Structure 1
Amino acid sequence: MTESASQAPPGPASLGAAGPAHRQAVDPVGVWRRFVGSSVLLDGFHALKHAVRFGAEVPLAVTVDRAAALALADELAPDVRETLDALLTQVTESTYTSLVPRPHPTAVAALAVRPSREVNLRTLARTPRSAPVVVLDQPRNLGNAGAVIRLAAGFGATGVVTTGTLDPWHPTVVRGGAGLHFATAVERLAVDELPPGPVFALDPEGEDIRGLKLPDDALLAFGSERSGLSADLRARADHLVALPMRPQVSSYNLATSVAMALYHWSATGGAPIKD
């Protein structure tokens, strides 16, 4: 987002310097409409908290109750409380509900600038890596994809890549990821565009994961919730790996499978999670 000083809306620094009176003077609806088509919607306090914590650029954040939102920050995120104080503009409930498709219980919403695709691709391609890349092969469920991104961020994975038609930056995915898209590199790629590294693809016919050590530069690939690995991804795989599962149980939820694989990686010598 590159604009002249005369065109740019009040950003976090200017809002903080001007204080609450200036925040109330901002036209939140005008700013929102200006940026909503090109920005990432952050639904709720926790999504905003995580996005700010991991360096997102936030042109506007609104809330129905500033005092309540800042009380949450005092309790749950004192490290970003000052930043949130500078960002949050109080609006009426009717204004808030007009801006978001599905109001969040915390009555907080914000717009954030999506990270540069070029930067994300460089992060994903950089070797050697200290943590795996998670690959979701043709996923279908938006909520599951968001949960995976949240897991990957928690484990310090290098990134999450999706193949197929699902947009990993869809608002429902971002909502499920609780703003943690900004804590890891998230992109959609074709199978032949995947980052370098050995592909360990999860498949019931593979080798038991408990006998393996997953390398830090691995690509951990997971098939769709319904049909498993695509033919293209299976052909690209260097290793097929199976999670332990009781006979006659059909499958695990996608996010559960990712959590099990990442935990196995971290428990068998994976890079320590950074503070």
Structure 2
Amino acid sequence: MDPTPLSDIMAWEAMQMSVYLPLTCISMIAACITIFTAFDTKDIRRSAVQYSTYSVFCCDFVWAFLRCVLYILGMIEGVLPTANKGDRNVTNLDEPIIAYQAILTAAGDLFIVAGAIWIVLSAYEMQRVVTHTITRLEDRERHTVLFYNIVVYAPLSVLLLLFALGPVSKKDEDLTSSCLRASLYLVVWALFLAVMYLPFAMYKIYCVRQNRSGFFDHTLEHIYRRVRVLLIVYSVTTIPTSIVSLGSEVAQLTRNNSNFLGPHTSTFFFATNCLFYLTGLFNAVSIG
């Protein structure tokens, strides 16, 4: 028998939501302010660097907004949405609010993945500015932006549509839970790959700096600083929650027990989630 009383569990979940909601609101507002103040609408369509960085904040805004709505629904019900708990086991899909929570969770996950992809593309484009002596023509930049949009959003839109029209609409709770866990894995690996690419981009830019030693290049120094800050911020906010989430899932699958950090697993999970939910704010601060 579970030694933890149900009332204590519900109180803990209510406390989590009361913290998660304002944190996601802060990230959403910070991302929104950055979108409208840090970018020129004329530049973002004709510069792949600007557009990629702009898209990072757009994705930050959308996933933070979706999480806000998710936790508002959770507070209405009085329980943490099962779709976004550690094990992501969904029950009672016959209730519309549970189905909405599942779709909101998956949509938020996919926009986190999209944000990670845009981080990589932003770093690549900044790296390209430094390592290529010939810049793209404006028309070519516009085509690159269009290509990036298709590559990033088309597959993720298809996945979300299949999820909503498949297991959720058919009220298949086992398959819905499996899809939500797969969505979590996708988030974790997308974040890890983004963090792994950023040091590579830094190294390539560093090599160019070494080759140009003795000559101060303002653009080069600015880009090097931007990628370095991106790496630090992204690593601090994403790696802890990725490790805890993945470790919990692996423990659940191998030992049928998600408490891989002992009795304090839920506390670690909560703390790393809080840090991650401030990603939008930290990204906004990092852009200066």
TM-score range, shorter chain: under 0.3
Q: What TM-score, normalized by structure 1, do the two folds share?
A: 0.24
| Greater fraction helix | 2
| Greater fraction strand | 1
